[in-house]
Structure 1
Amino acid sequence: MKVHILDDWFDTLRGLPCFGKLEGHDVMVWTDHAKDVRVLAERVSDAEALVLFRERTRITRELLERLPNLRLISQRGVFPHVDVPACTENGVLLCSRMPAGGTNHAAAELTWALILAAMRQLPAQMASAKAGHWQMGVGKTLHGRRIGLYGYGRIARAVAGYARAFGMEIVWWGSEDGRARAAADGEIVAENRDTFFSSCDVISIHVRMKPATRGIITRSDLAGMRPDALFVNTSRGGLIEPGALLEALNAGRPGMVATDVFDTEPLDDPSDPLLAHPNLLATPHIGFVTEDEFDLQFADIFDQINAYASGDPIHKINPEVWKAPAG
């Protein structure tokens, strides 16, 4: 198959063990990002299969209608960036494995790194030291403080393990089902939502992005946090009510935000008011960006291509598109 891989910005995949799964295919790897639909469509005009790097490129109806040769889109995880009905109407099968087990340790580790960096003022302290000014302020010790984890999935539970190692008190909130599971496991669940947001030194959200969770963290939630508290998001920018994060920082509740995700990505405007805010610690959506995590994820993605090529596709999202070859 003619396979185009989009947005491998650092040309990482060719050096990973999983890349060997594409042997026998005609593979083109794009190491930059084409924003213009017309430019992208021209680049991949001969593609029979597209491989997506998470949500780096949106698959729109306009793009699909310009790709008459396309038959397969292979990716992993959720797909809010893919117009599935348009895929179906254009005869394009979307295959995406939804991981049912295991933990994304890369995302959990980044979450903890952001918490440490924000609470100990590491970016500012490092910049001050390199500028010859030595110390620039006073940080906070994590031991004995309270962390609130919103969501009771695998990543949140991994973060809870780090918090316990640092001697923090852990409280939970999330969906009714998540709270019930946490309580059944003997965890401490906040008395109510308001108490959860108002009582924690650190709050970290770990929820999957889907229509029901869009904007699940509201202006009111953030306004209820203390001026000395930290809010952390390594999940998805769309989980926060639009505009609420910047308003909260400007109001000083919470006093600090550490985020790996934004509503618009890539966010490359240094004058963006949220990105430029002095009380925001930002990373450019690198929660999943490790060689180890890439090898795990793209092994699944490449397996989907091989399954399609062999006539027995797996992890079909719109199975009505698939018609098995005759004979």
Structure 2
Amino acid sequence: MLRCAVLDDYQDVALGLADWSRVRAESFREHFSRQDDLVAAIHDCEIVVAMRERTPFPAELFDRLPHLRLLVTTGMRNASIDLAAAREHGVTVCGTGSVSTPPVELTWALILGLARHLVPESAAMRAGGPWQHTIGTDLHGRTLGLVGLGKIGSRVAEVGRAFGMDVVAWSANLTEERAAACGARLAPDLDALLTGSDVVSVHLVLSERTRGLIGARELALMKPTAHLINTARAAIVDQDALASALRARRIAGAGLDVFDLEPLPEGHEFRTLPNVLATPHLGYVTELNYRTYFREAVEDIDAFIDGTPIRVLS
């Protein structure tokens, strides 16, 4: 039987969510931050299942995995896999479906958590501290600015309208017609969106065009009472500039689910800044998504074994 490694199975659930009987599967809960440790663990595996972009597969890693024949990533896009290097090494790369609603829900969890100070108020209650020590921010009548209005951003817009928010959106190719179809107004440019929004939420795909899109200059345009939410990709927002803006209270706060380095190192200020509500990249981590990921990963494996690969990434 072919040997299969399932990486970054933090919750130790992968093997129980699908039928892996056609392979000899082993899951790894620990994250291999050192490439040497990763190679030592999976060197003899013909198949590897990677969870999202938790473990990068650059060209040099394929050089060190001579037995690898199939790499399955959860989702149909993974910027941390060098697809050209995979092809050069004869490795087939396949993906799986993904459900878009979980990151929408987490986006609103972060918005509401910041607006109503849920974490500090809950912590104070647990510790026997003051009863009511903050004043919440109203969402009704405020402006929600969406940087990106695709599959996820458009659903975030729906909820924003349900809260009675004025929804504006911007991306490089967004049209007035598309924005209106999603119940949003098209901002003339990113600067205008940042200047006028009370909540700014990022929902773009990371690319060379969007990397560092929101930097120190852009953050300085935001209202000092505004919140920034990022459940997309960390690198779209300059992390050092964001930390500086939060430290200086140039914006009210940030809800962050994505980081340049994951897991986020102990002692990192995004773990400790009082105006940051941070979660450990939970946007896609729900039962429905996990069942989809691992069921379809096994379908990819079975199809590969049968000689007819499916969901192959170009």
Name the TM-score, length of structure 1 as normaliser. Answer: 0.89
| Residue 88 (str. 1) matches residue 87 (str. 2) | yes
Which stretches in structure 2 are left out of the alignment for 5+ residues? none
Q: 1:238 to 1:180 in 2, by over 3 A?
A: farther
Q: Equivalences for 1:1-327 in 2 at 5 Å?
A: 1-16=2-17, 19-20=18-19, 22-75=20-73, 76-97=75-96, 104-133=100-129, 134-177=131-174, 181-183=178-180, 187-269=184-266, 271-318=267-314
Q: Which amino acid aligns with 1:8?
A: D
Per-residue CA deviation, residues 285-314 of structure 1 (Å, 9 max, x unaligned), is 000111111112233322221111111112
> Given that residues 224 and 249 in structure 2 are in contact (C-alpha distance below 8 angstroms), is that contact kept between their aligned partners in structure 1?
yes
SS in structure 1 of the partner of residue 4 of structure 2: strand
Query: Distance between the aligned counterparts of 1:232 and 1:152, measured in 2?
Result: 14
Name the TM-score, length of structure 2 as normaliser. Answer: 0.93
Q: Which residue of 2 aligns with 1:322?
A: none
Per-residue deviation at 1:78?
A: 1.7
Q: CA RMSD in A?
A: 1.8
Per-residue CA deviation, residues 94-142 of structure 1 (Å, 9 max, x unaligned), is 222576xxx5111000000100000000001111111111222111121
Per-residue deviation at 1:268?
A: 3.0
Query: Distance between the aligned counterparts of 2:282 and 2:183, measured in 1?
Result: 32
SS in structure 2 of the partner of residue 223 of structure 1: helix
Q: Which amino acid aligns with 1:289?
A: V
Query: Distance between the aligned counterparts of 1:308 and 1:196, measured in 2?
Result: 46
Q: How many residues align?
A: 311
Query: Distance between the aligned counterparts of 1:8 and 1:193, measured in 2?
Result: 38
Moved more, 189-198 or 120-129: 189-198
Query: Distance between the aligned counterparts of 2:7 and 2:175, measured in 1?
Result: 35
Extract structure 1 runs of 4+ deviating beyond 6 A: none
Q: Which amino acid aligns with 2:85?
A: A
Q: Which amino acid aligns with 1:14?
A: L
Moved more, 56-65 or 183-192: 183-192
SS in structure 2 of the partner of residue 157 of structure 1: helix
Q: Which amino acid aligns with 2:213?
A: I
SS in structure 2 of the partner of residue 312 of structure 1: coil
Moved more, 286-295 or 173-182: 173-182
